[in-house]
Amino acid sequence: MRSIDLEKTPLRELNESLHQLKDGTNETEWEVLNPRGQHAVAVGIDAPVTVTIRGPVGYYCAGMNKQATVVVHGSAGPGTAENMMSGKVIVKGDASQYAGATGRGGLLLIEGNASSRCGISMKGIDIVVKGNIGHMSAFMAQTGNLVVLGDAGDALGDSIYEARLFVRGSVKSLGADCIEKEMRTEHHDALSALLKKAGVNGVKTSEFKRYGSARKLYNFNIDNADAY
């Protein structure tokens, strides 16, 4: 394992080293010490490596992630895993606003709570939050899945497109064009797979409600569903 102490090594040097990694690298295990809430830690990685961050981080941690697994042992500031493409980002604590924003792929797992606008404009990412989420989450969410084991705040799924929202707890209010939808067999199966992928055990899919678009705010054509 390669260990980088940010009290001794500049953050720019850490990110430059991570950006140089390619498929097939032998340096697959990284540890970051003393992040002290610094911003843009471990951004733009494009290699199948694991980066373990020992402490809280600021905004945009693990942004634009591809292939890598980034684990934050602490809280994370705004924009965690923003524009994520693939791989996995795990936050052991709470995440601030717009976690997973515009994410296109991969899995974002938040073991604590997420603040407002979680999953805003998500475009294919899977987000699992073990705690609660704040207001305006999944605003203009296009595709992907947002799974919440706790409660959701005001205006969930406002102006949503074709993303799927699964909430186990209560929802304070739904946003424009977002409605509760039937949990069919394929949704139970998809949710079960997501929970398993996130390492969530002992939770029944029957405890969740599904929410999605009423398809009244945009021109929806079922023949073009894959394009939304």
Number of structural domains (the chain) is 1
pLDDT band at residue 222 using 50, 70 and 90 as cut-offs = low
Q: Answer whether residue 225 is part of any domain.
A: no
Q: Which residue has the higher pLDDT, 216 or 108?
A: 108
Say what the alpha-carbon torsion angle 10, 115, 50, 84 is, to the nearest 10 degrees.
-90
> Considering only 73-77, 200-204, 216-220, which range has the smallest mean pLDDT?
216-220
CATH number at residue 94: 2.160.20.60
Q: Answer whether residue 151 is part of any domain.
A: yes
Q: Answer whether residue 226 is part of any domain.
A: no
Q: Write the pLDDT tens digit of every residue in 95-114.
A: 999 999 999 999 999 999 99
* pLDDT at residue 224 in the model: 64
Q: Answer whether residue 51 is part of any domain.
A: yes
- DSSP-based three-state secondary structure for 107: strand
pLDDT band at residue 216 using 50, 70 and 90 as cut-offs = confident
* pLDDT at residue 217 in the model: 80
Q: Write the pLDDT tens digit of every residue in 7-58.
A: 999 999 999 999 999 998 999 999 999 999 999 999 999 999 999 999 999 9
- Give me the mean pLDDT over the 111-122 stretch: 98
Residue 89: strand pairing partners: 70, 108
Q: Answer whether residue 34 is part of any domain.
A: yes
Q: How far apart are CA 64 and CA 80, in angstroms?
A: 10
Q: How far apart are CA 151 and CA 84, in angstroms?
A: 24
Q: Answer whether residue 65 is part of any domain.
A: yes
- DSSP-based three-state secondary structure for 152: strand
Q: Write the pLDDT tens digit of every residue in 79-99.
A: 999 999 999 999 999 999 999
Domain limits for position 205: 2-220
Q: How far apart are CA 169 and CA 187, in angstroms?
A: 17
